[in-house]
Amino acid sequence: MMLEYSLIALLSPLFGGIMAAFLGKSFGKNFVNFVTIIGVSISFVLSCIIALEILESSAVINQNIYTWLNIGDQSFHIGLLIDNLTASMMVVVTFVSLMVHVYTIGYMYDDPGYHRFFSYISLFTFSMLSLVMSNNFLQLFFGWEAVGVMSYLLIGFWYTKESAIKANLKAFIVNRVGDLSLILGIGIIFSITGSLDYYAVFSNSQEIAQTELLLTSTLTVSALTAACILLFGGAMGKSAQMPLHVWLPDSMEGPTPISALIHAATMVTAGVFLLARMSPLFELSTTALSFVLIIGATTALFTGILGLIQNDIKRVVAYSTLSQLGYMVAAAGVSAYSASLFHLMTHAFFKALLFLAAGSVIVALHHEQDIRKMGGLKNKLPITYVTSLIGSLALIGFPGFSGFFSKDALIEAIGHADIIGSGFAYASVLIGVFITALYTFRLFFTVFHGALDEHHHDVKESPLSITLPLVLLAIPSVIIAWPTVGPMVFGSYFTTAISQPDAYQIFGYEFTSAYGFLIHAFSSPVIYIALFGVATAYILYIQKPSILHDETYKSSFIYRLLDNKYYFDDLYENVFAKQARNIGDLLWKVGDIKTIDNFIVNGTAYRIGNIANRIKGIQTGYIYHYALMMILGLAIFLAWTILDLGGAS
């Protein structure tokens, strides 16, 4: 029965998206709302049923549904793998998607592309479910590319807006870099094991580990390490890890609901999911784990710093997402996959909440997004204010909130690790705690406290379709971690899905209860660093905002470095993209024009024409000229014959 439920959960959003696409414009908004929301609701309910069933029975479904194609003796299948990891991802994806669908009713109501937007987000949900429910690399790659295509369409949804078109093209190209790395990693695995099925590959992981790839006549590298690093390259693209992070902040050009759906809870977490799913491989390569750890910690720290100077309300939350993804990746780098996945789950709720709250503010202020033009909205938007406060406290890891349990657990794991890069990573995530609290409450205090902007006296709370999802997301942002942190992080919940050391080896202490975890956390510096960040934000943005009115710091090198986002965009545009265009121009001018067109195609015609012009000179029209040529020809033929006969004799 669980297999049938899984198929229905997978296909319901697909059906709703297709119906909205082809019939939505004719049948109207109510029809679009009904078919898409019902589709995602069915998927969410069935995902919850599946998760409960797996929790009770510890059952695992790994079954091929049909054969996609046969090549020689190789068969490639479409199949489902439903275990604790899959079930958890299904619940998170469908719940956040459902909230976004409801939220979109109010946010996009007057948009002429209303039915098209609902179709896109339903199809995106189907694509993401395809990714997490796959039991083989081929189907994983299909879902991986499908979410990339849907994100391209959603980021560029307002296709008449030039900045949106540039943003979706940027996201598409950067993700192609990661996708190339992913498929190369899959290729190495397939070349050694002869299979794309997860379980078949994992059962042959020792064979991969013992295989060496010949790079040069004298240099070899472990096939397992190479495959893991290449697989992580795909994760770096989807989960926006440095240096492939540049697409995510620009993707805020799309409508706010997709920021919550794609860039908070689903698509960007695909890379973290991939690391957890591939844990049986990564656990055999400490080199790959160190690489993952260093990249994740670097992203957590340096992208968080960029959030301090952003003035677009959505971009502040976007850089926060980048930083939190870095935390998840860093935790995977120290084999704390359970803590990484737990933070993925809790982060999905409170980050989707913060994005949707930002959208509520934007709608209330008639699509104003500059936080410097905001202030004093606390009493004007009471529901948005309270839910934003809950999301902010969860994000900084305030004691008792869901983000506290997940973030503290993974920081503990990083601090207890001893692999290469762990010292740097631990320092980075601790500094990141302060940075997170500072930019989070900079945003919160600037938007909701202070003096009310004179242009915003007519502000009123958003409609129920916008505020209801905020309330529903705020609830798990507070309470979801209390009953789940024990079994998911320290217990055996993920035992059948991932490979990692025992909890004591990862965290260095035994878990007793959520309350005991809370008490234990007060002995670490994390809570105090976060509170110091909040206090600093209060002083700078509430008590003494005049400190930041000094313009001299904006002329400093550090500010320019941050304002230009470490010059990554300039590097890519002026070095890689520009040089690629120059190479393309050279190949076009030399290869196409000079070689193919002028020399081969047009040149051949010219040379034949030139020869014809020279030959036509002998066509005089006089019969005695032709007779002379016939006699000369005959003479040459006879001479050749005589010489040939003489040589034969």
For 539-568, what is each residue's pLDDT tens digit? 888 877 666 666 666 667 788 888 888 888
- Amino acid letter at 179? D
Is 207 within a domain? no
Query: Are 590 and 614 within one domain?
Result: yes
The per-residue pLDDT for 46 is 94
Domain that holds residue 593: 564-618
Assess contact for 257 and 473: CB atoms under 8 A: no
Residue 545 lies in a domain: no
Question: In terms of DSSP H, where are the helices of 135-197?
Answer: 137-155, 162-193
548: number of Cβ within 10 Å: 12
Which phi-psi region, left, alpha or beta, contains residue 258 (left: φ > 0; alpha: ψ -120 to 50)?
A: alpha
Q: 67 by DSSP, 3-state: which?
A: strand
Q: What is the pLDDT of residue 295?
A: 94
Q: Which of 229, 269, 231, 245 is nearest to 141 (CA)?
A: 231
570 inside domain:
yes
CA-CA distance, 13 to 122, in Å (whole number)?
Answer: 5
My answer on whether 573 and 599 are in the same domain is yes
Instruction: From 511, 475, 496, 503, select the one nearest 55 (Cα to Cα).
Output: 496
In a domain, 604, yes or no: yes
Q: Is residue 568 domain-shared with residue 604, that is, in the same domain?
A: yes
Q: Which residues, in sequence order, are bridge partners of residue 197?
A: 136
Question: Which residue positions in the chain have pLDDT lower than 70?
Answer: 264-265, 453-456, 545-555, 646-649
Judge whether 262 lies within some domain: no
What's the structural domain count of the chain? 2
Assess whether 613 and 640 both reside in one domain. Answer: no
What pLDDT digit, counting tens, does each position of 417-458 carry? 889 988 999 999 999 999 999 999 999 998 888 777 666 677
**612 plus 632 within the same structural domain:** no
Residue 118 is assigned to a structural domain of this protein: no
Q: What is the pLDDT of residue 637?
A: 86
Q: Which pLDDT tens digit goes with each residue over 320-376?
A: 999 999 999 999 999 899 999 999 999 988 988 998 898 888 888 888 888 888 888
Residue 99 near residue 472 (C-beta atoms within 8 A): yes
**Are both 591 and 633 inside the same structural domain?**
no
The answer to the question of residue 255 being in a domain is no
User: CB neighbours of 146 closer than 8 A, spacing ≥ 6?
Assistant: 126, 127, 130, 131
Check: CB of residue 289 under 8 Å from CB of residue 417. no
Q: Are residues 589 and 614 in the same domain?
A: yes
CA–CA distance, 481 with 405 (Å, rounded to integer): 6
Q: With respect to residue 114, please indicate whether it lies within any of the assigned structural domains.
A: no
